[in-house]
Amino acid sequence: MTTLYDKLGGESAIETAVDTFYDKVLADETVNHFFTNTDMTKQRQHQTKFLSYALGGPHQYSGLSMEKAHENMNIQPEHFNAIANHLKATLEELNVSDDDIEQVMEKVATLAPNIMYK
């Protein structure tokens, strides 16, 4: 079975997507304050591993749980939705098929309870 990770083009494609995604996030004043004190090089590497893992790739994700990673951030629905929209726009820019984008967004939606209001 072909994973979303493979369909999207593997690690180099995921790295490109993560870079494009964070360019959008950091330009968005509604959410960029969450990254003020973040080492973005490490964050991009971490996000690449997490996305690779979440999309069925070979990397084993060994980072914090979603709850721990977002603890004390008080992320509200508008913040979560802004980030999700940036991810969707990134995937569209990278010519990912609508079906694959829908699958990724469904996976992201399942994370909401572990991210918001923490």
Q: Alpha-carbon distance 17 to 113, whole Å?
A: 24
Indicate whether 4 belongs to any domain. no
Question: What residues make up the domain containing 37?
Answer: 10-115
The residue among 57 and 118 whose pLDDT is bigger is 57
Q: What is the pTM of this model?
A: 0.86
- Reported as a single tens digit per residue, the pLDDT across 3-55 is 889 988 998 999 999 999 999 999 999 999 999 999 999 999 988 988 888 78
User: Tokens at residue 53, please?
Assistant: 């893992």
Tell me whether residue 82 is in a domain: yes
Question: Of all residues in the chain, what percent are helix, strand and coil, respectively (each to 5)?
Answer: 70, 0, 30
Residue 33 is labelled as binding a ligand:
no
Phi/psi of residue 116, nearest 5 degrees: -75, 150
What's the number of domains the chain is made of? 1
70 assigned to a ligand binding site: yes
Q: Confirm whether 1 is domain-assigned.
A: no
Give domain status of residue 97, yes or no.
yes
